[in-house]
Structures are given as C-alpha cells and as structure tokens.
Amino acid sequence: MLIFVLLVCIMLLVFLASDSQIQSENNVVDGAPQIFPSPSALRPGAPVDFSDLPDDFSFSLSWNIDLPNSYDSAKGILKWGEGCRELILSDEKKRAIREILSSLNVAAFPDAAKSDVCSPGELILTVRCGSAEKTVACSGSTLEDSAVARLAQACYAVIGIITSLDEDSALPA
C-alpha cells in the first residue's frame, strides 16, 4: 500500500510539472526563448533517430501499478485495469506528449520486446513515426541507471497527461 501511495505521489508531481510546462507554452512572451520548438519547426517525415517527432507520430505505453494499464494513441484506446474505453487526446495533450518524447530520444535506448501487458513496476513505451517503430522498457530494478531513470520519468509524465481527464469523462472502472 505504501508503494502505491508513493507511486501516486510521484505521478502527481510529474503531472504538475508537465502541466506548468503546458501553461508556460500557452503564455509565450514575444522575444522570449522557447524551451521546445513549435510543431511547425520540426521537419516532416519519419525521423531516423526519434529525437524530432512529427505531429502525426503515435505511441503506445503500458504500465503496471496494481493492475496492467495501457494506452495506444493510434487506436485511441485506454485500458485501465479490467476496464477499457476510447480516449482521444486533445491537441494540447498530444503536443505536450510529443515534446516529452522528443526530448527523450528513444533511439538512444536498447530495443525491448513489444508487449501490451507488463510485469509489476515495468514500463513499456513504443513510438511510431511512419513505418519506423521503436520499443523501449524499464523496470524498478533498472532505475539506478540515469538514462533509464529519465525514461521512467518521461513515461510517468505521459501517464500523468493521459490520466488527467476532463470533468465530463472518467477512467474505466
């Protein structure tokens, strides 16, 4: 139970940090440098190194906190424990996730087996751009590596964005 509470607290902290980043993106001051490039500044086409994701990229993320959960942006399906529902992300959330994943550069990580179900404490991320696809994974036992910790932090930030739903929708029971 304590581990679950700690994971929820970490997810909330990551969500608050990503939410302030989204808000600061909307409050751009003329002449002030931007942290991330605008979507129009990114080159079109499928990137070779996944560090420059186009607007039409897609991803899937599986995580296991108490129960297996997953989201696939290409299908717009959120699986939350035993429940499943359609979830189409807003353009703002897609942009925030694209920026998180672009800064991560998943090509620098070793390939992992693609799976929709992961072990407790494991994160599996697949990024797709055109015909190119890259799957990476991490678990609690590998978080001592700073690169893997960055991957986990990025995945938890994406989970925070996915699960921060509008008032008129709810997570599956």
Instruction: Please give the model's pTM, rounded to 2 decimal places.
Output: 0.64
Q: How far is CA 4 from CA 7, 63, 109, in A?
A: 5, 13, 27
Output the pLDDT for position 75.
93
Residue in the structure block whose two tokens are 């694209």:
98
Q: Which among 143, 149, 81 has a CA at the least distance from the CA of 117?
A: 81
CA-CA distance, 161 to 12, in Å (whole number)? 10
3-state secondary structure of 71: strand
Q: Which among 48, 22, 160 has a CA at the least distance from the CA of 106?
A: 48
Sign of CA dihedral 41, 43, 45, 51: negative
Rg (CA), the chain: 16
CA-CA distance, 53 to 106, in Å (whole number)? 11
Output the pLDDT for position 6.
56
3-state secondary structure of 3: helix
User: What are the mean pLDDT values of the chain's consecutive 10-residue runs (173 residues total)?
Assistant: 60 52 39 36 42 75 84 92 89 88 84 70 87 84 73 92 66 53
End-to-end alpha carbon distance in the chain: 19
Output the pLDDT for position 172.
53
Output the pLDDT for position 105.
81
Output the pLDDT for position 31.
40
| H or E segment and range at residue 132 | strand 132-138
CATH topology assigned to domain 48-173: Mago nashi protein (3.30.1560)
